Structure 1
């Protein structure tokens, strides 16, 4: 896990939650979606939460409602509880991060989004301990500068990316929105790269960071070739879904 070796961040398109295809019963953040990404030589973006039993699971939403049809919070359940539920009634289950690491085995890079979980004690440490010893290329990213700041202090060998957007549709205090949109808290997160909402690109301050500071910028989440063509001059790589980048 050497953050100086980041060439994959600009050379391989990154499949958002794996190469999922709901029409063909391949749900997001599933083992099959990850296998499909590996088959097509795409890097993999995935999301993690820490459960009540301090296991790291691969799942995007704070609740199981959308993917499993159950109105329960991920962090309120144990891995045994979670194992009961299928992803979109496909027979696929919510994977453990350690099982995904075994599946991937360094065949493609991993980009791991970490959620803010203030109610789970030592959540970041649980995630870091799960990643320690993994030999493949990987990086973490988060919208929360304080999550990344923790990794800067406790796991400085892990490559860090600051996720951001213009947050126009988000309900938050205007000052917080300004700080996050304009990356004013990067002195806390100390990111090695940025992942910015493709719909909000281009932005002058992002262009300035790319050109003057050599900061790597990923655009997320690109859903078709037309959007890719539009933002290609404004980012170094994409996180994509629902199409195959050409």
Structure 2
């Protein structure tokens, strides 16, 4: 059975990485999600993909230059599906409080060593507070982030995000003790998938939006797929 994760909530159906988007994902019957994190100036984990505010809010500057209370007033529905109501940037804590997901993939983008360490410790503290340690995998393509996870929060599940094959993703995942491989679908050959699963990795493939591709990857035997359209994925594959 191939499990389904909503990409940034339900990115194709509602403004990405907003409470509205994650609620839409749950309404579709998909109880697993993927999201992106950046730290606010005052050290809060904010759910937003880009390090800058421009694309989703139209505002200038970096996420890291604003306090959480300020960021939570910014409307993040630009560039996505049309939406009538304002959709503020959420704190991760707010999603933990309001959304009952069975599993969360929390992606941390590249960061300096100090920032990576601050982020993974903040994730662990929140996960513990909301009793979600076993329901979270922290993912990253950054070796710095994966190293911080391995050294500072070894009890948190971790995963490698692999977009390119120029470094063997299976080798990198093994080096950092990962148990999940978030693989760009273009890299998902039956051979690589089998090798990864034999290595004990859960293989989660992204971003899969076409029904024919969903079916093909499910036939390959991927453990899960990440989609902008959780409703379409449910209609195509059934409940994962």
Which of 10, 18, 21 is equivalent to 2:9? 18
Which of 95, 115, 126 is equivalent to 1:100? 95
Look up the match of 2:21. Answer: 33
- Match status 1:49 vs 2:38: yes
1:47 Cα shift? 0.8
1:88 Cα shift? 2.3
Structure-1 separation of matches of 2:50 and 2:141: 14
Structure-2 separation of matches of 1:84 and 1:138: 27
Structure 1 unpaired stretches of 5+: 1-9, 168-177
Q: Secondary structure at the match of 1:48?
A: strand
**Residues 149 and 190 in structure 1, CA contact (< 8 A), matched pair in contact too:** no
Given the two structures, how large is their TM-score scaled by the length of structure 2? 0.82
Task: Decide whether aligned partners of structure 1 residues 74 and 148 sit closer, same or farther in structure 2, where only a CA change above 3 A counts.
Answer: same
Q: Write out aligned runs for 1:1-246 (5 A).
A: 12-21=3-12, 26-42=14-30, 43-88=32-77, 90-104=85-99, 106-118=100-112, 120=115, 122-136=118-132, 137-166=135-164, 178-179=166-167, 181-202=168-189, 204-210=191-197, 212-232=198-218, 233-242=220-229, 244-245=232-233, 246=236
Structure-2 separation of matches of 1:134 and 1:153: 22
1:123 Cα shift? 2.8
Structure-2 separation of matches of 1:142 and 1:227: 24
Count of paired positions: 221
Look up the match of 2:82. Answer: none
Given the two structures, how large is their TM-score scaled by the length of structure 1? 0.80
Structure-1 separation of matches of 2:104 and 2:173: 22
1:109 Cα shift? 1.9
Structure-1 separation of matches of 2:174 and 2:187: 22
Q: Secondary structure at the match of 2:213?
A: helix
1:108 Cα shift? 3.0
Structure-2 separation of matches of 1:12 and 1:231: 11
Q: Secondary structure at the match of 1:222?
A: coil
Higher RCO, 1 vs 2 (CA within 8 Å, ≥6 residues apart): 2
Task: Decide whether aligned partners of structure 1 residues 235 and 55 sit closer, same or farther in structure 2, where only a CA change above 3 A counts.
Answer: same
Structure-2 separation of matches of 1:101 and 1:82: 18
Give the root-mean-square deviation of aligned CA atoms: 2.2
Look up the match of 2:81. Answer: none
Post-superposition CA distance 1:183-221 (Å, at most 9, x none)? 4333442101111001222164443222x3242211111
**Residues 110 and 145 in structure 2, CA contact (< 8 A), matched pair in contact too:** yes
Q: Secondary structure at the match of 2:171?
A: coil
Structure 2 unpaired stretches of 5+: 79-84
Post-superposition CA distance 1:156-191 (Å, at most 9, x none)? 221111110226xxxxxxxxxx32x54433344210
Structure-2 separation of matches of 1:133 and 1:35: 22
Structure-2 separation of matches of 1:28 and 1:109: 18
